[in-house]
Amino acid sequence: MLFTVSAPAAYPPCAFPLTAGKMRQCRHGFGRFPRVQLMPVTLRQLRYFKAVVEHGSFARAAEAVFVSQPALSLQVRELETNLGWPLFERDSHGVVLTTLGREIHEQALRVLDEALLLETKGKLFNKGPFNIALGIVSTLAPYLIPGLKEELSNLEDRIDIAVYEATSQQLLNRLLGGHIDAAIISLPIGMLELTERDLFEDPLLLAGSASRLAAFRELSEDLKAENLAKSDLGPLLCLNEGHCLGDQVLGACSMGTMEGVHRSLESLGSVARLAGVDAGLTLIPESAVASERAASPGLHFLRLAEPEPKRRIGLVYRVAFHDQRWIEPLADCATRAGKRLIEQSAPLID
């Protein structure tokens, strides 16, 4: 008994004898390729296979994809070998798909569409816009955000930020957990997993009513922050525990003998309002001076002597973060916005 087998169109048709016994030994069906070490199916193979289906001819398909016919035929044959079955049969009109070929063609179209979508997304991501989840410490966020947004709007490659406002520790936890991409907080942090980049220095100014600041001038000729601990000018108004600015204020003032520390406030704005109505003294970052003076006309500011207390504002992000193209533009914008806040505050300081 003799059977004729049509080989794939990637190579000439052939005939060879198969006995009934040999047919029974071919457990996987008629026309299966010999077992070989399989190689991965490639997008090139799928593209060439798709071209043959669309043009109905290996020669026309090769012209359409700008390769030689032998090169295209080799790729299609490798695809058939990997799949273990012919994908094409020849007839008088050219090539036609086998049953498996029709199924593979449908799936190949889906795979190629998904691959094109991936390539498109990669190209769009390379050009921006960059969508960044940015944390900003709550004692800086209200003052920095308007200027930062303005600076970012002038960039050629757009950076869109979704801002998360919280304490430094909360932002660090979110950053390490991968919930935000970067954070603008006080430095140093000193964590091996994070990279720190300095943005600007933010001096801490003595703030209170005009009468309290005048009294401090009389008691402290050198206007050093530690002299607050030796004075009797009422309570020191501070943010509650959990805010690093509150800790910085207490450290700068060397608190110990001053008449109490009022440390139950949640926002820098609340601290400034109380100081503005003569409820005590506090230290206010220079970046907040213009905004808080506008909100509380009775609030006045005094620059302290060197070494002037200040906080270092910086951008922190994960060391292992792969795409860092937005980091330098974002950092530069934050630096310009922060320094502009400092400049705007200068005329309001005694």
- Residue by residue, DSSP assigns 79-136 as HHHHHTS--EEEETTEEEE-HHHHHHHHHHHHHHHHHHHHHHHHHHHHH--EEEEEEE
* Domain co-membership, 26 together with 121: yes
287 has a pLDDT exceeding 60? yes
Residue 2 within a domain = no
> Is the entire prediction scored with pTM above 0.85?
no
* Domain co-membership, 288 together with 258: yes
Mean pLDDT of 208-221: 87
Instruction: Specify burial of residue 101 (Cβ count, 10 A radius: 0-12, 13-18, 19+).
Output: buried
CB 313, CB 186: distance < 8 Å: yes
pLDDT tens digit sequence for 73-87: 999 999 999 898 899
Residue 54 within a domain = yes
Residue range(s) defining the domain that contains residue 166: 128-200+312-348
347 has a pLDDT exceeding 80? yes
CATH of the domain at 304: 3.40.190.10
Copy the structure tokens of residue 1: 């008994």
Mean pLDDT of 202-220: 90
157 has a pLDDT exceeding 90? no
Number of domains in the chain: 3
Residue 266 within a domain = yes
* Domain co-membership, 94 together with 180: no
In angstroms, the Cα distances linking 48 to 26, 61, 90, 181, 232 are 29, 7, 17, 41, 86
pLDDT tens digit sequence for 170-198: 999 999 988 999 999 999 998 988 999 99
Interatomic CA distance for residues 79 and 86, integer angstroms: 9
* Domain co-membership, 73 together with 210: no
329 has a pLDDT exceeding 90? yes
